[in-house]
Amino acid sequence: MITNRLIFVAAIIGSALFASYYGGNISYALFYLTILIPVIAFLYTLYVYFRFKIYQSMEAYLVVKGDWTTYSFAIANEDYITFRNVKVKFLSDKSTIEEAHEMTEYSLLPNDSERMETRIKCNYRGEYYVGVDSIEVTDFLYLFRITYPILSKLKVVVLPRVVQLDRLGIAPPQPDVKNPMNFSNAAEEALDTEVRKYLPGDSRKRIHWKASARMGELISRKYQHIPKAEIVLFMDLTQVREEELKVIRTEDKIIESVLAITNFYALRSTPSQIIYDMEGRQEVFITARGDFNAFYKACARIQFEAKLTVSELMKLRLQRGDTGIFCVLVTHTLSRELYLTALQAISGGNYVSILYISDDTSDASGKLIDSMKLSGIAVHQVMLSDEIAEVLTREIRVL
């Protein structure tokens, strides 16, 4: 392209010199022609951009990370002139299109079209664009190349994977293999705001004396049944300070770890609780399959913008005075504060397991992990290249 431009610049200069020295209709006609040709070439690129058509679609716009789904793409020339050198650039940073190159060039005759039926795979959780990114149009003389962004891109919502586990190696050892969990966490009851008429046999502790005085008859408060989770997961949603690809992979690993563990217990009818900070402290109880499905759908739009660290979330939970619970902390950051909070949990008769999602292999990080293990905290570092299923099923030994 640079060579062609230099040739035309030389032609314009040469024709200008020829016209100025010799004059005449022919010399000036050549001069105007050398100027007019680049203008026509540029207008051609504009014309092609506004006249060619692109069609793309997907079988579904709510997909699961790593699953293939049908994708169709078509480019058409519905005009009366030939379209040459039209290059289509596909997005490839977060998705993969089967049997498609990142950049594909097309030349279309009038009323001609090219169609591609293939599959697309979204590689990361979240909400982002896939398919065609931009169009590059080059004129017939290779003088101008103009890249136009596609305004109507395909936007998909990608749900994280749910990794199936046949066992959970990070769980505390159980003396009774027939009972997968044996914590002293019976369901608790709390007084509800609703009231009803007093019935014979009701405890006097349930009587709402103010309401009884107001209504002139005995009124009892209702009790609500609050399931007490035996497994409490603390999910770190603070900002990951790494390069973009590592940020995405770290976030995915954290969410998929939490989902794998809660799914493991949901299938075994064991209640669990997820605590995290997103626009305020959130507590999600997973007591049935429907609870898990609701949380799973919400995971696609989880943002890592938390203000509270997992250490702070755990401190707030420990204020309840629970004992014998299984605490799982899924985090991308280790700190002395987290170490001390985990020690506090262990001293209260709880079992603590930390999943450290990071490629950090520094001496400081290694020493902190060793200290935690020596203190009775089960710690396992999960590299970004590790498979979640292998990590969670592998038994983590405390030194």
**What domains appear along the chain, each with residue ranges and CATH number?**
2-49 (no CATH), 51-159 (2.60.40.10), 188-226 (no CATH), 231-393 (3.40.50.410)
Task: List phi, psi (to 5°) of 14.
Answer: -65, -45
| CA atoms of 70 and 150, how far apart (whole Å) | 20
Identify residue 78 by its one-letter amino acid code: E
| Pair of tokens at residue 183 | 């914590």
The string over 258-275, giving b where at least 16 C-beta atoms fall within 10 Å of a residue's C-beta and e elsewhere, is: bbbbbbbbbeeebbbbbb
Task: List phi, psi (to 5°) of 184.
Answer: -85, 70
| Pair of tokens at residue 295 | 């949380």
Which DSSP string do the residues of 203-239 spell out, in sequence order?
Answer: -GGGB-HHHHHHHTS-EEEEEEEEPPPSEEEEE--SP
Identify residue 91 by its one-letter amino acid code: L
Q: What is the pLDDT along the chain (399 residues), one digit of tens a residue?
A: 677 667 757 777 777 777 777 777 777 787 778 888 888 888 888 888 788 888 899 999 999 999 999 999 888 888 888 887 788 888 888 899 987 776 777 888 888 888 889 999 999 998 999 998 888 888 777 777 888 778 778 999 999 999 998 888 888 765 443 344 444 333 444 444 567 777 776 667 677 777 778 788 877 776 544 444 579 999 999 999 888 889 999 999 999 999 999 999 999 888 999 999 998 999 999 988 899 999 999 998 899 999 999 999 999 999 888 788 999 999 999 999 999 999 999 998 999 999 999 999 899 999 999 999 999 999 989 999 999 888 888 765 544
| CA atoms of 288 and 267, how far apart (whole Å) | 9
List of residues 6+ apart from 159 with CB closer than 8 A: 62, 63, 64, 65, 125, 296, 297, 299, 300
| CA atoms of 175 and 172, how far apart (whole Å) | 10
For the chain, what is the radius of gyration of the CA atoms?
A: 33
